[in-house]
Structure 1
Amino acid sequence: MTTTTSPRVLEHPARDQIRLEEVLHALSDAVRLRIVRDLAREETELSCSYFDLPVTKSTTTHHFRVLRESGVIQQMYQGTTKLNCLRRSDLDALFPGLLDSVLSAAGAQAGREGETV
């Protein structure tokens, strides 16, 4: 008997499997950092379609996958909609102050570059 995994189930690392270097890699890309900033600002689950990103749909999918596989975000399906939320409590427990420092620095940079923060 073979078991198949539903394509609707997305794999996420457990808290103790989240590694600093993977989180830092995920946050090192401008598009992924923008996604994380939006999730942190809204403090709620957001659908993928919420994000107006300057990349193709396939590239957007890649960025969300990197964030999910690194443990930065959690994704879940609600009907046909894929929702995203920041794994703030996991990241804060593992790397105290890291997320707040990165978000603060990203906000300051955006302000210098004239973006709306």
Structure 2
Amino acid sequence: MSTTKKTLVMGASTAPDRYANKAIKMLQQYNQPVVAIGKKEGNVDGITIEKEQVPFEGVDTVTLYLNPVRQKPYYNYIISLQPKRVVFNPGTENPEFYKLLQENNIMVDVGCTLVMLTTNQY
């Protein structure tokens, strides 16, 4: 993987069994810069989990670990970050949000961040 893609993990968790937690760790293993937002503040391997909608700069990818209902309050926030793409991990599929993203020229990627990283498709 030659290029880095600053990634915002939405739905981040300090619980090691959560896929969002695994994604933070794996993104770091693959030398991808990571920022994170979750329900509770915390820290995963040096990455601070924020509770607020921080105006992060230079986010290439947003990877979602929030079900569609929990995504709604973040629609405008995610669009305002102007990422190149949003990854909808299993269980986060949301056609309503796909449409909004596409209207704002943001690519929709339905897949699994962990699989994408391990198969060099990130």
Same fold (TM over 0.5): no
Question: Higher helix fraction: Structure 1 or Structure 2?
Answer: 1
Larger Rg computed on CA atoms: 1
Q: TM-score range by the shorter chain?
A: under 0.3
Question: Higher strand fraction: Structure 1 or Structure 2?
Answer: 2
> What TM-score, normalized to structure 1?
0.28
Answer 1 or 2: higher relative contact order, Cα 8 Å, separation at least 6: 1
